[in-house]
Amino acid sequence: MVPNLDIAFNDAFDKISTLRKAIAPDIMLKFYAYYKQANYGNKFSSTKVSSVRSAFKFNAWVQLNGMSSEEAKKEYIKLAETVLNSKK
Burial of 18 (0-12, 13-18, 19+ CB in 10 A): exposed
pLDDT digits (tens, 9 = 90+) for 20-75: 989 999 999 999 999 999 999 998 875 666 788 888 998 999 999 999 999 999 99
Whether pTM exceeds 0.85: yes
* pLDDT score recorded for residue 49: 63
Task: Using alpha carbons, list the distances in angstroms from residue 47 to 52, 55, 62.
Answer: 14, 11, 14
Residue span of the structural domain in which 12 resides: 3-86
Q: Determine the Cα–Cα distance for residues 53 and 66; give it in Å rounded to an integer.
A: 23
- How many residues are recorded in the chain? 88
Q: Domain count of the chain?
A: 1
Residue 48's pLDDT is: 66
| CATH number of the domain to which 60 belongs | 1.20.80.10
Q: What is the CA radius of gyration of the chain?
A: 13
Per-residue confidence (pLDDT) for residue 74, from 0 to 100: 97
